[in-house]
Structure 1
Amino acid sequence: MPRMVGRVKRIRIPDELQSLSLAPRHLSLLAYLLFDGPMSVNELAARLEVAPTTVSLMVGELDRKGVLERREDPADRRRKIVSIAGAHRGSIDGWLGRGALAWRKALAPLTPGERKLFIDTLAAYENALPEDREQPGN
Structure 2
Amino acid sequence: MSTEPEPGLRADEAVRAMLLLMPRLAARLKRTPIPERLRSFNLAPRHLSLLSYLLFDGPMVVGELATRLQVAPTTVSLMVSDLTKQGVLQRRSDPGDARRTIVDLTEDPETRAAIESWLAGGATAWRAAFEPLSPEERALFVRTIETYEAGASGD
Q: Shift of the alpha carbon at 1:20?
A: 1.8
- After the TM superposition, which residues 23-102 of structure 1 pair with which residues of structure 2 at under 5 Å, given as runs? 23-87=44-108, 88-102=111-125
1:3 aligns with 2:24: yes
SS at match of 2:87: coil
Which whole-Å CA distance do the structure 2 matches of 1:44 and 1:83 have between them?
11
Residue segments in structure 1 that go unaligned for 5+ positions in a row: none
Residues 51-82 of structure 1, C-alpha deviations (whole Å, 9 max, x = no match): 10111011001001110000111111111100
Which whole-Å CA distance do the structure 1 matches of 2:26 and 2:141 have between them?
17
4+ aligned runs moved over 3 Å, structure 1 = none
Q: TM-score, normalised by structure 1?
A: 0.89
Which whole-Å CA distance do the structure 1 matches of 2:37 and 2:91 have between them?
21
Supply the RMSD in Å over aligned alpha carbons: 1.4
Q: Which amino acid aligns with 1:109?
A: P
Which whole-Å CA distance do the structure 1 matches of 2:120 and 2:97 have between them?
31
Which whole-Å CA distance do the structure 2 matches of 1:2 and 1:112 have between them?
27
Which whole-Å CA distance do the structure 2 matches of 1:18 and 1:124 have between them?
32
Q: TM-score, normalised by structure 2?
A: 0.80
Q: Percent identity?
A: 58
Aligned to 2:144: 121
1:106 aligns with 2:129: yes
Larger radius of gyration: 2
Provide the aligned length of Structure 1 versus Structure 2.
Answer: 132
Q: Shift of the alpha carbon at 1:45?
A: 0.6
Which whole-Å CA distance do the structure 2 matches of 1:112 and 1:120 have between them?
12
